[in-house]
Amino acid sequence: MAKNYDELANTIIQDVGGKDNVNSVVHCATRLRFKLKDEKKANDDALKETDGVVTVVKAGGQYQVVIGNEVADVYDAVVKEGGFEAQGQVKVGQEILSLQGQNETEKVTGQVQTN
């Protein structure tokens, strides 16, 4: 039976400042990668203390919530609970982006707009 990630997704959305604070969200192999409107609204400490979250990293203009191997399932729940458009996985480094429906800017930046 598949684990239900809805509660974790709701906690993550709340602690990144709410769905209105999210410009975009994608994931890589282990992390949810958010572009936030205002990183000051995110509650780093609460996220770090959340079961299912390993840590939080701020890098490359992204607010990254490290989940681990279950990130794809958590991402699906975040998309569902936040009402975001699902875009799939971004592979980092030399690998190819595997996003669906992206425009040319998104292909270059690896970020997909949610609005």
Contact 24, 113 (CB under 8 A): yes
* Phi and psi based region of residue 110 (left: phi greater than 0; alpha: psi -120 to 50; beta: remaining): left
- Residue 20: active-site member: no
Which one of 9, 22, 28, 42 is the catalytic residue? 28
Q: Which residues are catalytic?
A: 28
